[in-house]
Structure 1
Amino acid sequence: MKTVETGPRVENFPVSEDSLAAIIQEARAYEEIVPETDVEDGADELDERDAPPHDEGLGHPERQVLMEAIRALSMGRQEALVAVCWIGRGDYEAEEWDEALKFAAERDNGNVAGYLAGIPMLADYLEAGAAALGINLSDTSSQSMSH
């Protein structure tokens, strides 16, 4: 089992650890079928936050499962996922949680699931963001993998 060092836990985190772990698991399953993109090529030309979803996986069932798992959450929880992703990606520090969450709500275009599913390395960003926010998913992840 992988040990993850976490920061101080954020207060009133709206997404359950089980839900977050399940979404990370679905994101990993989807990422396995989508070819990796070369971040170096065109990294200056395109901000991945504004990138369209990977064409190769648009209609794939794994993408649909991931998007449905995200859509099953309330809008506030979906926006929290975006903020966690941004923290994991380094756009915000964990101490800026409230600011990241506010900006995620302001930027919401009604397609959070599509936006998140289109982010390469989503699972890694969600894990890193959760760890930075003090949310340890190592026990939850190992339990969900054993079912």
Structure 2
Amino acid sequence: MLDVNPDTVCHLVQLAREFHSQEQVVIPTDSGDASEDWHVQMLASHAGDSTLEEFRSVIFDLEPDQQQQVVGLLWLGRGDYDLIEWKEALAYAADAWNDTTADYLIAHPLLPDYLLEGLSLHGYSCDE
């Protein structure tokens, strides 16, 4: 069951598509040490980007458990977890939660697809 509003997730999908469609967005294919803050480093050059700032604002306005559900949808849509493992995904997202959730999410080039798939597995869709 989702506690995050599916319409909010659909809005995040739209913002992520806008952000990733920009020519200047470059996502490194090799982030080096995965334990480093690669997502923050990658996004540093996009300071002041209005789409990125709106995406961050939407995530920031969510409660931590709702942010964790969005991360869980990413992982579910990416195939890291099955719907049966949803509670496990949320538990791991809760353990890993920090204040850079928005940057972690937007740093995934296929985020819109993953979120849509995660929503679909929960029985929701975005009217496109």
- Range of TM-score over shorter length: 0.7 to 0.9
2:74 maps to a residue whose letter is C
Q: CA deviation at 1:37?
A: 4.3
Which of residues 38, 45, 48 in structure 2 aligns to 1:51?
38
Higher-RCO chain (CA-CA 8 Å, sequence separation at least 6): 1
Which of residues 82, 86, 100 in structure 2 aligns to 1:111?
100
Tell me the alpha carbon deviations over residues 73-129 of structure 1, each in whole angstroms, 9 at most, x when there is no partner: 111111100000011111111221110011000101222112212222211111111
The answer to whether residue 49 in structure 2 is matched with residue 68 in structure 1 is no
SS at match of 1:52: helix
Distance 2:63 2:104 in 1: 16
Which of residues 107, 119, 125 in structure 2 aligns to 1:130?
119
Distance 2:97 2:28 in 1: 27
Q: CA deviation at 1:36?
A: 5.5
Q: Measured at CA, do residues 65 and 46 of structure 1 come closer, stay the same or move farther in structure 2, by a change above 3 Å?
A: same
The worse-fitting range, judged by mean Cα deviation, of 98-107 and 110-119 is 110-119
Distance 2:106 2:28 in 1: 17
1:136 maps to a residue whose letter is S
Distance 2:96 2:17 in 1: 25
SS at match of 1:96: helix
The answer to whether residue 23 in structure 2 is matched with residue 30 in structure 1 is no
Gaps of 5+ in 1: 1-11, 143-147
Which of residues 82, 85, 89 in structure 2 aligns to 1:93?
82
Q: CA deviation at 1:65?
A: 0.8
Gaps of 5+ in 2: none
Q: Measured at CA, do residues 117 and 37 of structure 1 come closer, stay the same or move farther in structure 2, by a change above 3 Å?
A: closer
Pick the structure with greater CA Rg.
1
Q: Is the 8 A contact 2:18 2:51 kept in 1?
A: yes
Q: TM-score, normalised by structure 2?
A: 0.81
Distance 2:112 2:118 in 1: 10
Q: CA deviation at 1:38?
A: 7.2
Q: TM-score, normalised by structure 1?
A: 0.72
Percent identity (aligned): 29
SS at match of 1:136: coil
